Amino acid sequence: MSALETRTRTWLEEAGFAVRDEALWVEALTHGSTGERRDYQRLEFLGDRVLGLAISEWLYESGTDDEGKLAQRLNALVSKGACASVARGLGASGHVILGKQARDDGAANSENVLGDIMESLLGAQFRETGYDAARDMVRKLWSKAVDSQAGRAKHPKSALQEWAAGNRRKPPRYELVDRSGPDHAATFTIRVSVNAVGEAEATANSKQEAETLAAKAFMEKFG
């Protein structure tokens, strides 16, 4: 595995990450397309749990919302899109280590890749400094998202589910219509339908996001 580039180490340190073991940070930024034995997947797994706990703790401390509202906000704040947004704000796309084909395909700007990278960086921070420092990093990077209304509005899929029940219809049915592109930059088209009402479609970089957009489109059309 190659050494951490000086410009990348500078970028990480300026962002607030504690870089001690350079190999760990190379791993955190290395996509599977490189063919390296160690890529970011294991650190992504770890960082996902660190992020979930840090945000859960933060939301619990910051108000009196019930469990349902806390879960709704948590899901929005730790989503792939939210992680990718934070990564873009940091300028992570310029430091992702990719194989040639993935690089040519634009994987450095993919929501899936950037979301994964953000989680892997948090995993590396946790390994270097422990939970408290990793939690502080989350609070720094997610401060605008938590202060905003992210996750406060009812999720489109929940809204559609309740709408269908309220109109005495069967639950919405989600169907994968199309999947295209390489694994690191795949796009998914989802169709949602409610019996005897209609259907709507949407395309996104993950099935979850495509389902959300399809539900939103359905409600805008029929709700």
Q: What is the 3-state secondary structure (H, E, C) of 126-164?
A: HHHHCHHHHHHHHHHHCHHHHHCCCCCCCCHHHHHHHHH
pLDDT tens, residue order, the chain (223 aa): 568 999 999 999 999 999 999 999 999 999 999 998 899 999 999 999 999 999 999 999 988 888 878 887 888 899 888 999 999 999 999 999 999 999 999 999 999 999 999 999 999 999 999 999 999 999 999 999 998 866 666 788 988 988 888 788 899 999 999 999 988 889 999 999 999 999 999 999 999 899 999 999 998 898 7
d(CA 123, CA 83): 13
Specify the 3-state DSSP secondary structure of 98.
coil
Provide the pLDDT for residue 113.
Answer: 95
Domains along the chain with CATH numbers: 6-147 (1.10.1520.10), 156-222 (3.30.160.20)
Which of 222, 76, 52, 53 has its CA nearest to residue 149?
A: 76
Provide the pLDDT for residue 70.
Answer: 86
21 — alpha (psi -120 to 50), left (phi > 0) or beta? beta
Paired tokens of 208: 């979850």
d(CA 200, CA 146): 31
Specify the 3-state DSSP secondary structure of 209.
helix
Q: Which residues of 186-220 are buried (b: 16+ CB within 10 A; e: fewer)?
A: eebbbbbbbeebebbbbebbbebbbbbbbbbbbbe
Positions annotated as catalytic residues are 48, 119
Specify the 3-state DSSP secondary structure of 19.
coil
Report yes or no: 120 and 200 within 8 Å, Cβ to Cβ: no
Provide the pLDDT for residue 134.
Answer: 98
